[in-house]
């Protein structure tokens, strides 16, 4: 685990970020986090984010942006904005219902992302897609995520959210082996049946095996902790997640 940095998706602590971004980044660094993934810019400009991250010794491993941000009329501004921060990966974290209600919608998403990826690569950046569990429910006699994995070109990376994978009944280790080198920034999120507030390491995901396959096969460059349901203050939850990740990874 020491060879791969551990970061946090800032959506996990969004209220703290909104209240005092610089202080939140300082506290995350003090916990031991090495990098972050953004969930929007909030009230700050790209130069302000760059400065705050630098001041607190945190790198940026990616950012979540909506599908509209990579549309032809928006993509260049999107890339310029995030390049200013030093962000080289952007991830589509979800889709509107009109694109997930039919397989044709998923096909249109893949086509858009493949075309957009050409512009990303030319700019020295990469585009990715973040899964949930619903992409694994049969639709028109096919699993949508399987269609996406087949259609998306290799330049488009896959951001596995292991919590959602295991909730969907997917063997995340086998899934990573099936797509070598395509999982640079997986989301490390807990899944425990009947206990949605469980933190990483106190859940049913086989994390030791997951970390190993990500290191050995997945092409992982950073592990990104994400936590969304809270039994304690969000900052305490992400601290517990990080402590457990470190223990499991040793």
Q: How many residues does the chain have?
A: 250
Using one digit for the tens of pLDDT, what is the confidence trace for 206-229?
999 999 999 999 999 999 999 999
Q: What is the CATH number of the domain that holds 83?
A: 3.20.20.150
In a domain, 119, yes or no: yes
Q: CA triplet 192, 167, 217: central angle to 5 degrees?
A: 105
Using one digit for the tens of pLDDT, what is the confidence trace for 43-68?
999 999 999 999 999 999 999 999 99
Whether 7 has a pLDDT exceeding 70, the answer reads: yes
In a domain, 180, yes or no: yes
pTM greater than 0.75 (yes/no)? yes
Q: Which domain holds residue 117?
A: 6-249
Distance in angstroms (rounded) separating the CA atoms of residues 195 and 173: 22
90 touches 82 (CB < 8 A): yes
In a domain, 1, yes or no: no
In a domain, 183, yes or no: yes
Lookup: tokens for 233:
């203050």
CB under 8 Å to 70, separation ≥6 — which residues?
78, 90, 92, 112, 113, 116, 127
Using one digit for the tens of pLDDT, what is the confidence trace for 179-211?
999 999 999 999 999 999 999 999 999 999 999
In a domain, 53, yes or no: yes
Q: What is the count of structural domains for the chain?
A: 1
Paired strand residues for 63 = 38, 90
Lookup: tokens for 122:
């030319």
């Amino acid at each position: 685990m020491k060879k791969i940095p551990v970061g946090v998706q800032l959506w996990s602590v969004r209220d703290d970020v909104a209240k005092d971004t610089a202080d939140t980044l300082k506290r995350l660094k003090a916990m031991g986090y090495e990098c972050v993934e953004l969930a929007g810019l909030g009230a700050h400009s790209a130069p302000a984010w760059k400065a705050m991250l630098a001041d607190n010794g945190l790198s940026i491993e990616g950012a979540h942006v909506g599908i509209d941000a990579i549309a032809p009329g928006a993509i260049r501004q999107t890339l310029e904005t995030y390049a200013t921060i030093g962000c080289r990966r952007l991830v589509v974290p979800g889709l509107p219902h009109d694109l997930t209600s039919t397989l044709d919608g998923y096909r249109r998403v893949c086509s858009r992302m493949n075309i957009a990826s050409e512009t990303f690569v030319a700019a020295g950046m990469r585009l990715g897609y973040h899964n949930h569990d619903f992409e694994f429910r049969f639709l028109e006699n096919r699993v949508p995520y399987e269609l996406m994995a087949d259609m998306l070109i290799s330049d488009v990376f896959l951001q596995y959210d292991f919590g959602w994978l295991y909730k969907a009944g997917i063997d995340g280790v086998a899934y990573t082996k099936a797509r070598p080198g395509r999982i640079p920034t997986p989301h490390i999120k807990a899944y425990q049946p009947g206990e949605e507030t469980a933190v990483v390491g106190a859940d049913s995901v086989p994390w030791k095996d997951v970390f190993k396959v990500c290191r050995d096969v997945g092409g992982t460059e950073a592990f990104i902790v994400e936590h969304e349901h809270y039994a304690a203050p969000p900052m305490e939850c992400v601290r517990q997640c990080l402590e457990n990740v470190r223990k499991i990874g040793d």
